[in-house]
Each structure stands twice: as structure tokens, then as C-alpha cells.
Amino acid sequence: MFNWFKKNDKSDKKIEVSVEGVNPQTNNEFLFYDFVQFEPKFLLKEWYLKAKSLDLVFKPQYENAILLKIKTGEFQNPYSFPEYFSNKFDFIAIDFETANQNRVSACAIGLVFVKNDIVVYKTFHHINPPENEYFSSKNIQIHGITKEDVDYAFTFDTLWEMELSKYFNDNLIIFHNASMDLSVLKNLFNYYKITNYKINYLDTMQLASKAGYPKKITELTEKFDIDYIDKHNPEEDARACAFVFGELIELYPQYENLIKTLSYKEVEKEKIIEKESIELKNQNLEFIQTYSLKNEELESLSVEGKAFLFTGDIMTERNKAKDFIEQNGGFVKSGISSKVDYVVIGVNYGWSKIQKIHDLNKNKSCNIKILTNSHFDYLKSKYS
């Protein structure tokens, strides 16, 4: 990028504006024409005159485009994105900003496109969050984006269909701290019922950890001497992420092993597993309540000749618990079967064991009882 900026003497009342232009000899025609199309006419003219005064040489077609824009005020980029790049990039670094703490409240996204190890394009989109998502003062203070800034922006589903879906599914997406940005994507896909996605992604925070480097983006940019200012500007954050990734893959060449996939099919599978897990948990709690020893049963419980099994983290050290059972004439089993009389459960007990207890009691006419940590402690005290 070519940048022109000049500070005036205090006595000079004129105000000059910084214009970030494009190298007038670049081979990236799309990028140069994109600059000409969207740069305001008067700023483009000032930038062009300053560049000429510095004896910068323009490719003829670039100079013709600038002169046309200066003369008519209009210029249309003859190329389209991402078709100009055949929709093939080394990777795309992205960064989201949110209106509040809710992941679905995305209000901006920055994107940086890298091809042949060069940043060939970068862009920024405001996003209009769902109607029920407010802008918190805390988040506004962080990124400076307000409700007024996004009033005329697209909602994410429209932005996805018109723009993002063109290249997200076909290129490697890079985040820094995927637990944030990936969660934003998941929540947006789910909220808008978007299903046409299958995204390969990599988290530079995880990559940094694998390479033995700090995880924070600020520490990484400092480590690699990467210019990083204007934090929480999503385009700038995406740029920093892209440069950090470029450095890290030199240090950790097997980075491809860290690539994961986010797809509608996988997300739906996760939902089913989560639902089944919740249902199983509730069911097992019912079984525990049904088969737990009653107080009167605990009072009359005799260890001698009975088989016990331990599952989970019980409060008594396992070896001592085993010794207690065996010293009082009982047996300790390693797995659930019809030969087990009592199961002592601790924290993180095996859910499958509870299911097996129910199956044996219901279908095999067994009478396996469950003891909690407090039950087992009481049993030990009774024998002592």
C-alpha cells in the first residue's frame, strides 16, 4: 500500500486527509481498480497529484482509470470478486465484533485474503444483528460500533448469501481464538437456519500453543515484530491474525493436522448427542434415586459375603475402600454383572454402569443397590 500524509504547520488553516492508495505498479488489477472505484473523487485526485509529484510511475491502464474517475466522478471495476482470483486463496483470516456478550449479536466482520503469500484483498462489513440484540455500552467502548452504524447494513443471512458463501466453503478460514469467532459463526448459522456451509478452519491460538509461543495476539505480534494498532477494528485484527499465521506455519510446518471442519451435518450431530446426553443424565438420576439404599436398608447392611463395585471418584481412597470390604468378608468386583450386590458411586461415576444396573434389575430379576459417598462413609463408621 502507498500512503500519503502530511502534517501542516499550525499557522496553516488547511486540513489535509490521509489517503491509503495502492502501488501504481501492482499486478493486482482488481485491487487497484477497486481503490479507484470507491475512493472519493477529490481524495483520489489529491492522492494522484501527490504520487506524480513523487515521480511514481503508473501503469497506463491505472492512470487512465484515475483520470476517468477524476473527470466524470464515476468508474466501475471491470473485475468481480472473488472471481478475479478464481476463488482460490491460501487462506482467509477473519475477525468478528459483537454488539453484546451474546455470540449471535455479530455487528461487524473483517476479512483478509492471502494468495501466494501476499495479502491480495481486505475488506470490512457491518452486520445488522437480530432485532432483539442490543448494543451494550461496554462493547461500544471496545470497538466503537453503534446501532446507528449498522442500521442500513445487511443481516448476516443476507451477507452470507450475497457474499460470504462465495468463498467461505472453498478456502481455509483462520481465526485467532476460535472459541469466540467459531462460536459466533455457529450461533449465526443456527439462528438464521443456514445449512449450506462446510468450512475448514484453524485457530492461530491453538497453533501458537503447539509451536511453544504465547497465545495472546498482542504478544504474538510483538514477538514477530508485526505492526498492530487500532485493536478491535475487525479488519485490522484479521490482518494481524493473517500475519501471525504466516509466521507460525514456518515454525510448525505440520499445521494442517490442526485443521478442523464446521459443517451443518456435524453441528446437527452435536445437537443430537447433546440432547441424548441430557436425556440420559436425567434418566440415570431417576435410576439412582430408585435403586439407592433406604436408611433402614443401610442400617441392616452386612458386608460379609456381598460383592461391591466402585465407580467414579469416591471420597475414600480406592485401596483403603477395597481393604475395608475385604477385611469384613466382602468382595470387590471390576465390572457390573448379576453377581454384584452393591455399587458405590462417586463424582463422575460411569453413566453406562447406571444403565447396566437398571437393565439387570429390570430384566434379570437382580436387586443391585446403589450407595453414595455418604452411605459408604456411614457404613465404615458403623463397622469401626
Nearest Cα to 120, choosing from 229, 239, 5? 239
What does the chain come to in residues? Answer: 384
Domain ranges of the chain: 2-72, 83-258, 276-383
Same fold, 83-258 and 276-383: no
Residue 322: all three cell numbers together:
477395597
Interval 189-221: pLDDT, tens: 999 999 999 999 999 999 999 999 999 999 999
What pLDDT, on a 0 to 100 scale, did the predictor assign at position 6?
Answer: 36
Is 107:126 a contact under the CB 8 Å cutoff? yes
Interval 262-315: pLDDT, tens: 988 776 666 655 665 677 788 888 999 999 999 889 999 999 999 999 999 999
DSSP E strand stretches across the chain: 2-4, 19-21, 91-98, 106-115, 118-126, 173-175, 198-203, 260-263, 307-311, 331-332, 342-345, 369-371
CATH number for the region 83-258 comes to 3.30.420.10
What pLDDT, on a 0 to 100 scale, did the predictor assign at position 172?
Answer: 97
What pLDDT, on a 0 to 100 scale, did the predictor assign at position 2?
Answer: 42
Sheet holding 342-345, edge to edge: 331-332, 307-311, 342-345, 369-371
What pLDDT, on a 0 to 100 scale, did the predictor assign at position 231?
Answer: 73
Residue 57: all three cell numbers together:
510511475
Residue ranges of the chain with pLDDT lower than 50?
A: 1-17
What pLDDT, on a 0 to 100 scale, did the predictor assign at position 21?
Answer: 81
Residue with cell 448427542: 273
- Would you state the CATH architecture of domain 276-383? 3-Layer(aba) Sandwich (3.40)
Whole-angstrom distance, CA of residue 181 vs CA of residue 187: 10
Other CB atoms within a 10 A radius of the CB of residue 101 amount to 9
Is 251:258 a contact under the CB 8 Å cutoff? no
Whole-angstrom distance, CA of residue 98 vs CA of residue 364: 56
What pLDDT, on a 0 to 100 scale, did the predictor assign at position 307?
Answer: 97
